[in-house]
Amino acid sequence: MTVQLSVVIWTIINFVLLYLVLNFLLFKPMLKFMDERNAKIEQGKTAVAKKQAMLRAKEEEKAAFIASKDRLLKEKVEDGVAAAKEECRKARLDAEKQQADAVAKETAALKEDEAALKETLGKALPALSDKVVQSLLEKGL
């Protein structure tokens, strides 16, 4: 078997031409496609990471908002309870004052009645004692 130089040269030329054609028509477009695909994947990952960060931020904002609303609601409830207690205290004081006024009026009325009875008794006592004395004298004591 002899090696023919012309066949070797044609084989090398064909190989180089095939390499150039494949490189131009297949490898470069395929590598470009793969690079673009990898870039899109990276963009997608970056977008997902941004969306997740935004979602976490929104969730934290939501939690802070809910905590704020809960705190405000608790304050409103406490204010309402305090106002109700104050209203009850005022009502109780008013009732006690009315009761004290009623007792004072009753006491004043009783003192007036006592004074009137003493006055009536003071006026009637001399006449009554005179009647008792006359009655005893008539019976002969």
Distance CA 12, CA 5 (A): 11
Look up residue 54 and give its DSSP letter: H
pLDDT, position 126: 81
Q: Give the chain's residues under pLDDT 70.
A: 141
**pTM for the complete prediction?**
0.47
pLDDT, position 6: 93
Token digits of residue 28: 């470069």
